[in-house]
Structure 1
Amino acid sequence: MNRRLTLTAALLAALSVGAQAQPKSVFTVVRPTQWGAHNLNPFSPNDQHLLPTNSAIYESLFFVHGLTGKVTPVLGTKYAWSKDNRTLTVTTRNGVKWSDGKPFSAGDVAFTFNYLKQFPALDTSGLWKSGLTAVKASGATVTFSFAKANTPVFQYVAQQVIVPQHIWSAVKDPVTETNRMPVGTGPFVFDSYSQQALRVLKNPNYWMKGQPYVDAVVWYATNSNDAALLKLLKGEADYGYIGVSDPRNGYASKGPNNAYYWPVSGSNYLYFNTTKAPFHDAAFRRALAQAIDTSDVAQKAYAGIAKAAHPSGIIPGQQADWLPASARSATPKYNARAADAALTAAGYRKNAQGVRLGKDGKPLPAFKILVGAGWTDFITMAQVISENLKQVGITTQIDQQAWSSYAGGLQTATYDMGISWGWGGGPTPYYLYSQSFGPEFSAPAGKSAPSNLSRYTNPAITQALAQFRSTSDAAAQKKAIGTIATTLMRDMPWVPLTDRFEFSLYNTSRFTGFPTPQNAYNAGTADDTAGARLMYLNVRPR
């Protein structure tokens, strides 16, 4: 008996198809989660609305590739900034219909953005706090006006999902609205929902002729990563966003149809709390960075799947466009002996017993390395770092904390050193640098900082961030990023440790067209994101 067909048949039987014919091609997504209420409100946070909402049912003006910054037209066909970069003009697509048959228009776009202003709780990207002053529609054109130049805001404008004015203008409380029967422009329409499975069906009036190639997408819930992985291994699911410790040996090698796409989307970092001595001293931080063997950190934490991160923090997919030659040549190298000498030269000498002393002549304390409790990859990183720093006379302790105290310690600057991912990121390095080192994302020690975990600011970086925001000229933006990268590599408020991935796994026995490194049309992002929409559009039956 074909187990894959048995699962699909069971799911279809569990889902009401109403008057619809049984779909012939069903693309199955396995999800290690238990979803909650029947909520398809696109303004709700991702963990509160059901998975198809912003990946299959609703669409945005453009899709901005999270790794390369490439812009793909969706409901918008083109865009342009004015010479002073204070006006963004978007041309909307003709011939698009909402799933209830009514025509889509530029008026729907203007309504959506003004709706965010009317209900600030919906404006999770802070568009109206980022200088947006007006959004107006005229014919097929929408004009966005800003109080000052802020070109990086484009990705938030581009990827805001658009809703129909004729539906949402009647919604009195969009924050609590569950929108159980959604009307969107996307490639699929909502069909049915249960605690075990969700289903969407192909939109017969979708504006992309001939797409999608599948008749339905079904999400199937499991209670664990292992259970979801087993479904893929058995060929009972086609796709899952599942973290496994070794995708090559733990999944891909176990069957000819097992494939994974784990592009590098960020980095893991060792943060220094620059509000505390001696971490306030750039010379001390530089020496510690030189004492850490990031290649060994990556090898032991991720069994060779992850590589050491670049010291600039710029991910591999963005280095060709954004990493200047000066930053490449200035790359610090692991050298324990040189690090030991650098500490002594900076005033942190050793005593006769080999104990590292502070500038006051007193032995340095044992510094804590903060990690999440039970996070084996971070714990392994901390163990390697501890051994590395021991070689230069620095004593450390690994401090495992539950999520609330772990995140709270990072954000309130009560830690010494801490391992975490980059609390920021986007289609260019600007987003990582802005959220990690912008003064507006910092706070005094003891107060909660949104994302500047190291509490490091630098006038040169602040000015370069402002220069980036003020222009849409690529050369000027690259120059600003170069300034930031070289400043960070000199001052080392953090140590970029390892690459960090997305976690898409595929079983290719029934479908083709998945994203790959050779055809990286999305960034391997999860099944409830705008990037997943491109996968649902491109996969086709064998």
Structure 2
Amino acid sequence: MKRTALSVMTLLTATLTATAVAQQPKNVFTVVRSSQWGAQNLNPFAPGDQHLPPTNSAIYESLFYVNPLDGKATPVLGTKYNWSKDNKTLTITTRDGVKWNDGKPFSAGDAAFTFNYLKQFPALDTSGIWKNGLTSVKATGSNTLTFAFDKPNTPIFQYLAGQMIVPEHVWSAIKDPVTETNTKPVATGPFTFDSYSQQALRVLKNPNYWMKGQPYVDAVVWYATNGNDAALLKLLKGEADYGYVGVSDPEGQYAKKGENLSYYWPVTGDNYLYFNTAKAPFNDPAFRRAISQAINTKNVAEKAYAGVADAAHSSGVIPAQQQQWLPASAKNLEVKFDAVAADTALTKAGYKKNAQGRRLGKDGKVLPSFKILVGAGWTDFITMAQVIGEDLKKVGVNTQIDQQAWSSYAGGLQTGTYDMGISWGWGGGPNPYYLYNQTFAPEYSAPVGKTAASNLSRYTNPAVTKALTAFKGTSDTAQQKKLMGTVITTVMQDMPWLPLTDRFNFSLYNTAKFTGMPTKQNPYTAGEADDVAAARLMYLNVKPKQ
């Protein structure tokens, strides 16, 4: 038996069943976590920080996996889907020949039950599926599932696709699913739950899994550690095969330390400098665009992330989606760093300089020193703010860094009491609609002093709002691209934010024992964490080295 399997067996002896001990799994894929977990809870409806990691990554399954990089939908319990001509009915074909791990057959009825269960217990509906036009979900055959809407809302598909499906014959008897711990899960996934302790968790290969020949490993084990350093050490020593672990320099701190060490850090979002457009002079698009031009985002990325991250595209659209979604006209709207041009643009827009080189407002008064809001102690954001401050000072705009603890940091962004603030995108998904909708749609904004859900800049534009609404009403890809082109170019012209740097998922691998993980060359997932639906695909595809 391999050393990894032996160490796992030592950790888990106290909790393994006699059957499991007899099985002695030969190929054990090991996951290390830089955190602990709580009680034995395998309720797929519970928030991710409350249930155990294997719940929604190895045990339960959804209808599809939608890759957030390119929007590709990989069939799982669903095999195909189709929107009606008026985009108010979605029909999904569910997979034949699937059994729950207690031997009972899976059907579209189980999926219909799951979605109606969310309606019965609204606390479970964390994606707000039933608040966004859904009127009914019915099984219209053993493998046909029909969703009806009172108005078109095609972007809701990714939330329907990702909902974990539960067996009606089990959950119909559970009267309080919010507090249910579900210690003996009945599911359709590639693994079944085996054992639990505060140090390690194990799942075993489902011998009756519907995907013949997979998974290729006999077991997956999770180790808990007390932080990134401990998790990283296990990977470096070959005591773990995979970990979702963030390090500041994955090349120098990890990949270069061994021939079997590699990482997959796909860009899934950006960091932004948000402008509070409810406050002068940030309510002026010409001012916003000029100071954006004064900021060297390439230098921001280099200083904040030691060359690991690139400067973000000035549209905010991630690299994997740019070819498909960026209109040709966006190229002429890109903000390119040019301090001299920015200085000229500010003066032309009515913001002159005084004899001391300080920038004046349109009223002739010296502009105040603007605060840049960041999280307290967040070294990457603080570094970004320092570089931004140095750049803006060169064009006569003074700034100061405003470090705030999380509650006041998030509160300041959401209530609109800040000047400028650095944060990640409060929205995102398999195409730019999700980012732009959550960031700039009126329903996500609020008056200053009230809490805005995610429109932190409080920017709205009738052209953007109209295009976003029309996007929801169509499933035609060509029409969606045209509408998104309007959104992208309008936002790039008005610059309610400045995209600063790329953001990543943080998958680290030790490939000494296994192959088949998602990579830049084979991005079948976006490198999401080990406890979410995307990880299921990795656990299915990893193979022991011969």
Looking at structure 2, the residues matched to 17 and 233 of structure 1 have their Cα atoms a distance apart, in angstroms, of: 31
In the alignment, is the contact (CA less than 8 A) between 1:371 and 1:378 conserved in 2? yes
Counterpart secondary structure, 1:248: helix
Q: Where does residue 279 of structure 1 map in the other structure? A: 282
Task: Give the Å deviation of 1:11.
Answer: 2.8
Looking at structure 2, the residues matched to 257 and 534 of structure 1 have their Cα atoms a distance apart, in angstroms, of: 21
Q: Where does residue 59 of structure 2 map in the other structure? A: 57
Q: 2:296 aligns with which of 284, 288, 293?
A: 293
Q: 2:100 aligns with which of 98, 101, 112?
A: 98
Q: Where does residue 133 of structure 1 map in the other structure? A: 135
Residue segments in structure 1 that go unaligned for 5+ positions in a row: none
Output one character per residue of 1:389-447: Cα deviation in whole Å (capped at 9) or x when no partner: 00000000011111111111111111110000000000000000000001111111111
Please give the residue correspondences for 1:162-177 in structure 2 after superposition, counting only pairs within 5 Å: 162-177=165-180
Counterpart secondary structure, 2:498: strand
In the alignment, is the contact (CA less than 8 A) between 2:12 and 2:200 conserved in 1? no
Q: Where does residue 238 of structure 2 map in the other structure? A: 235
Q: Where does residue 248 of structure 1 map in the other structure? A: 251
Q: Where does residue 439 of structure 2 map in the other structure? A: 436
Looking at structure 1, the residues matched to 149 and 212 of structure 2 have their Cα atoms a distance apart, in angstroms, of: 36
Looking at structure 2, the residues matched to 265 and 496 of structure 1 have their Cα atoms a distance apart, in angstroms, of: 13
In the alignment, is the contact (CA less than 8 A) between 2:289 and 2:494 conserved in 1? yes
Looking at structure 2, the residues matched to 457 and 416 of structure 1 have their Cα atoms a distance apart, in angstroms, of: 17
Looking at structure 2, the residues matched to 136 and 6 of structure 1 have their Cα atoms a distance apart, in angstroms, of: 48
Looking at structure 1, the residues matched to 415 and 27 of structure 2 have their Cα atoms a distance apart, in angstroms, of: 51
Residue segments in structure 2 that go unaligned for 5+ positions in a row: none
Output one character per residue of 1:107-166: Cα deviation in whole Å (capped at 9) or x when no partner: 001000000111111111111110000111022101100001110001111111100000
Looking at structure 1, the residues matched to 414 and 451 of structure 2 have their Cα atoms a distance apart, in angstroms, of: 5
In the alignment, is the contact (CA less than 8 A) between 2:154 and 2:475 conserved in 1? yes
* Counterpart amino acid of residue 109 in structure 1: A
Q: Where does residue 399 of structure 2 map in the other structure? A: 396
Looking at structure 1, the residues matched to 199 and 2 of structure 2 have their Cα atoms a distance apart, in angstroms, of: 21
In the alignment, is the contact (CA less than 8 A) between 2:5 and 2:28 conserved in 1? no
In the alignment, is the contact (CA less than 8 A) between 2:12 and 2:196 conserved in 1? no
Q: 1:204 aligns with which of 187, 195, 207?
A: 207
Q: Where does residue 84 of structure 1 map in the other structure? A: 86
1:357 matches 2:360: yes
Q: Where does residue 150 of structure 2 map in the other structure? A: 147
TM-score, scaled to structure 1: 0.99
Counterpart secondary structure, 2:443: helix
Q: Where does residue 473 of structure 2 map in the other structure? A: 470
1:310 matches 2:306: no
Please give the residue correspondences for 1:360-379 in structure 2 after superposition, counting only pairs within 5 Å: 360-379=363-382
Looking at structure 1, the residues matched to 421 and 270 of structure 2 have their Cα atoms a distance apart, in angstroms, of: 14
In the alignment, is the contact (CA less than 8 A) between 2:439 and 2:454 conserved in 1? yes
Corresponding pairs, count: 542
* Counterpart amino acid of residue 416 in structure 1: D
1:331 matches 2:334: yes
Looking at structure 1, the residues matched to 226 and 129 of structure 2 have their Cα atoms a distance apart, in angstroms, of: 37
Q: Where does residue 44 of structure 2 map in the other structure? A: 42
Counterpart secondary structure, 1:184: coil
Output one character per residue of 1:456-512: Cα deviation in whole Å (capped at 9) or x when no partner: 010000001011101000011001111111111110000000000000000000111
Looking at structure 1, the residues matched to 172 and 310 of structure 2 have their Cα atoms a distance apart, in angstroms, of: 50
Q: Where does residue 264 of structure 1 map in the other structure? A: 267
Q: 1:527 aligns with which of 513, 525, 530?
A: 530
* Counterpart amino acid of residue 13 in structure 1: T
Counterpart secondary structure, 1:358: coil
Task: Give the Å deviation of 1:328.
Answer: 1.9
In the alignment, is the contact (CA less than 8 A) between 1:29 and 1:217 conserved in 2? yes
In the alignment, is the contact (CA less than 8 A) between 1:15 and 1:197 conserved in 2? no
Q: Where does residue 192 of structure 1 map in the other structure? A: 195
In the alignment, is the contact (CA less than 8 A) between 2:515 and 2:544 conserved in 1? yes
Q: Rate the CA distance shift 1:3–1:25 in 2: closer, same or farther, 3 A.
A: closer
Q: Rate the CA distance shift 1:538–1:25 in 2: closer, same or farther, 3 A.
A: same
**Which stretch has the larger CA shift, 14-23 or 100-109?**
14-23
Counterpart secondary structure, 1:19: helix
Q: 2:221 aligns with which of 218, 221, 227?
A: 218
Task: Give the Å deviation of 1:15.
Answer: 4.1
In the alignment, is the contact (CA less than 8 A) between 1:369 and 1:399 conserved in 2? yes
In the alignment, is the contact (CA less than 8 A) between 2:2 and 2:26 conserved in 1? no
Task: Give the Å deviation of 1:359.
Answer: 1.1
Looking at structure 2, the residues matched to 34 and 12 of structure 1 have their Cα atoms a distance apart, in angstroms, of: 16
In the alignment, is the contact (CA less than 8 A) between 1:290 and 1:333 conserved in 2? yes
In the alignment, is the contact (CA less than 8 A) between 1:370 and 1:401 conserved in 2? yes
Q: Where does residue 446 of structure 1 map in the other structure? A: 449
Looking at structure 2, the residues matched to 328 and 287 of structure 1 have their Cα atoms a distance apart, in angstroms, of: 17
Counterpart secondary structure, 2:434: helix
In the alignment, is the contact (CA less than 8 A) between 2:255 and 2:262 conserved in 1? yes
Looking at structure 2, the residues matched to 7 and 379 of structure 1 have their Cα atoms a distance apart, in angstroms, of: 42
Looking at structure 1, the residues matched to 89 and 375 of structure 2 have their Cα atoms a distance apart, in angstroms, of: 44
Task: Give the Å deviation of 1:18.
Answer: 3.1
Task: Give the Å deviation of 1:12.
Answer: 4.0
Looking at structure 1, the residues matched to 260 and 95 of structure 2 have their Cα atoms a distance apart, in angstroms, of: 38
Task: Give the Å deviation of 1:7.
Answer: 3.0
TM-score, scaled to structure 2: 0.98
1:111 matches 2:101: no
In the alignment, is the contact (CA less than 8 A) between 1:57 and 1:187 conserved in 2? yes
In the alignment, is the contact (CA less than 8 A) between 2:5 and 2:26 conserved in 1? no
Task: Give the Å deviation of 1:5.
Answer: 5.5
Q: Where does residue 32 of structure 2 map in the other structure? A: 30
Looking at structure 2, the residues matched to 63 and 46 of structure 1 have their Cα atoms a distance apart, in angstroms, of: 17
Counterpart secondary structure, 1:351: coil
Q: 2:350 aligns with which of 347, 350, 364?
A: 347
Looking at structure 2, the residues matched to 240 and 181 of structure 1 have their Cα atoms a distance apart, in angstroms, of: 26
Task: Give the Å deviation of 1:14.
Answer: 4.8
Q: Where does residue 125 of structure 2 map in the other structure? A: 123
1:415 matches 2:415: no
Looking at structure 2, the residues matched to 180 and 406 of structure 1 have their Cα atoms a distance apart, in angstroms, of: 38
Aligned-pair identity in percent equals 75
Task: Give the Å deviation of 1:303.
Answer: 1.0
